[in-house]
Amino acid sequence: MKITQIYALVGALVLSSAALAEGGGDRTFAKAMQANDLAMEKYAAREGKNAPVVSSDAKDEANKEI
Q: Is residue 14 part of a domain?
A: no
What's the full length of the chain, in residues?
Answer: 66
Q: Is residue 65 part of a domain?
A: yes
CB neighbourhood size of 54 (10 A): 13
Q: Is residue 36 part of a domain?
A: yes
Q: Is residue 11 part of a domain?
A: no
Q: Is residue 33 part of a domain?
A: yes
Angle at alpha carbon of residue 33, lines to 30 and 39, rounded to 5°: 145
Number of domains in the chain: 1
Whether pLDDT at 47 is above 80: yes
Please tell me the predicted confidence (pLDDT) of residue 59: 53
The larger pLDDT score, comparing residue 22 to residue 26, is at 26
Q: Is residue 18 part of a domain?
A: no
- Look up the domain containing 28 and give its range: 24-66
Q: Is residue 47 part of a domain?
A: yes
Distances (CA, A) of 45 to 33, 51, 62: 18, 7, 25
Cα 30–chain centre separation: 5
Please tell me the predicted confidence (pLDDT) of residue 35: 92
Whether pLDDT at 45 is above 70: yes
Whether pLDDT at 61 is above 60: no
Least Cα distance to 52 among 43, 61, 65, 62 occurs for 43
